[in-house]
Amino acid sequence: MSSTQTPMSAVDRAWLRMDSPQNPMMICGVWTLESPISMNRLRKTIEERFLCFNRFRQRVVDKGDRAYWQDDPLFDLDNHLHQIALPGKADKAELQKLASDMNSTSLDFRHPLWQMHYIDNYEGGGALLIRIHHCIADGISLVRVMLSLTDKMPEPKLSKVVSKRRSKPNQRSAIQQFFHRAVDNAQTATGQARLLIQSVREEPGYPFKLASTASAVALDLAKLGLAPVEPKTGLKEPLSGRKQVAWADPLDLADVKACAKALGGTINDALLCTVTGALQRHFAAHKEAIPDCGIRVAVPFNLRPLDQPIETLGNKFGLVLVTLPVEVMDPLMCFQQVQENMNQLKRSYQAQVTYSLLDILGRGPDVLERRALNLLSNKATAVLTNVPGPKEALYLAGSKLTQPMFWVPQSGSIGIGMSILSYAGTVQFGITVDKAIHADPNAVMDYFRQSFEALSHAALAGRHEAKKHQTG
């Protein structure tokens, strides 16, 4: 193995091998900017804050049974950062069309797996379209890395930005690496044994608690494997590989918080209920029977501490299957069911189970991963992400970031990706839909707002009634 190559982790390799013509494994983003920006300033920002992560200078070397990261000897920022313009008086529809084309186009594996397009002439300002392969890192990490390009003020001093030191290529020989791994494994095993003995001394019932946890993990694994496949609907069709992207006008985060508080739940519960209502409206518009057992969405669950800086990239998350009760038409009853489903998942080990599965599959043969992927993707209709973003407005190269959107890729036979991101007192919602699926992405955006308004109205009306009974 070349001294400039480092092995890819099993989990990252699992995401690499999920790439397909129908579903390129890219995390995509669209940022709209209030005013045009200088390309020279954008380049300098990327060089100082983005390329400090060595992964963005490395290409993937796939050798079938193994994959490696290797420094790209021909790395040039011009291969990754492009400046284009939309025709005429470009509007949201033109930008969504461009984002759809980019979402449908695979990255070039001859170079590091990321690209950015700065778009001039968008509604008097500009936009930045971002594509990064999932094998580099998970969506939550990449959102944080991308947000590190921004500032809290329009005119910061770039020289004060502290760049992370780039990791040097691994110079150790294969034999040295083997012995270092052996020592690391032995130290880990010793540490785990010491921790177990200490835990037993401090808490005599610890072995029983450990056995109980192992049983719970085994049970969650069995539940995942035995879960029935998704009901046949117009949202589950053979995929074409062509994507359609849309995003909604943002909701006011204060309104979402007020709605959740009135219902005695979380913001996440309210937003999942809103998504459920949007899908109900889609089925009604298409005169399609609503499944009486609900539909499932795969939700990434972060396993990386959010209060720690990202020193290394990679994928540190699991997936949980969330049932959306689309058959429950009453908004308040729907909210209660969503809340109950989420509380059950919070007590489960499903995220850890799926992360471990990805680790195992990434070490095994490709055909095994494909079969397992098809099995799991048959158990969900869509992928849904919900990422907490910055509370204050940010600036990219001096221009105010007005609306950030991100979409994680779908895998296997899943053709719908939905994204929720909080930003500067707002909630952003977007969707990407395979063209073969009979769903109008812009119509779904309208359904999302209508669904939230119905839920909010029901919540506030219910609180008003409760107060009236108390005073009566």
Opening angle at CA 47, ends 245 and 305, nearest 5: 65
Q: What is the pLDDT of residue 39?
A: 95
| C-alpha angle 123-127-129 in degrees, rounded to nearest 5 | 145
Q: Is 424 left (phi over 0), alpha (psi -120 to 50) or beta?
A: left
Would you call 115 helix, strand, or coil by DSSP?
A: strand
Residues shown for the chain: 472
- The three-class DSSP label of residue 119 is strand
Alpha helices in 125-173 (DSSP H): 139-147
452, 256 in Cβ contact below 8 A? yes
Q: Give per-residue pLDDT as tens, 331-377.
A: 999 999 999 988 876 655 444 444 444 444 444 445 444 555 555 66
Q: Which residues of the chain have pLDDT under 50?
A: 1-2, 159-196, 199-201, 203, 205-226, 349-365, 367-369, 464, 466-472
Distance of alpha carbon 384 from alpha carbon 156, whole angstroms? 35
Task: Check residue 321 and give its pLDDT.
Answer: 80
Identify the pLDDT of residue 312: 64
Cβ neighbours of residue 164 closer than 8 Å, sequence gap 6 or more: 52, 53, 311
Hey, where are the domains in the chain?
Answer: 5-160, 223-389+410-471
- Predicted pLDDT of residue 178: 41
223-389+410-471 to CATH, choices 3.40.640.10, 3.40.1190.20, 3.40.5.10, 3.30.559.30:
3.30.559.30
Alpha helix (H) residue ranges in 324-440: 331-346, 350-363, 366-377
∠ at Cα 438 (432, 439), nearest 5°?
45
φ, ψ of residue 20 to 5 degrees: the values are -145, 160
Same fold, 5-160 and 223-389+410-471: yes
- 58-62: strand order across its sheet: 5-7, 67-71, 58-62
What residues have CB less than 8 Å from 344, skipping those under 6 apart? none
Query: How far is 464 from 258, CA to CA, in rounded Å?
Result: 13
- End-to-end Cα spacing for the chain: 79
Which tens digits make up the pLDDT trace of 278-306? 999 999 999 999 988 899 888 776 555 55
For 5-160, CATH gives 3.30.559.10
Q: How many CB atoms lie within 10 A of CB 421?
A: 24
Residue showing tokens 């992928």: 383
- Reduced to 3 states, what is the DSSP secondary structure of residue 339? helix
Structure tokens at 95: 């930008």
Rg (CA), the chain: 23
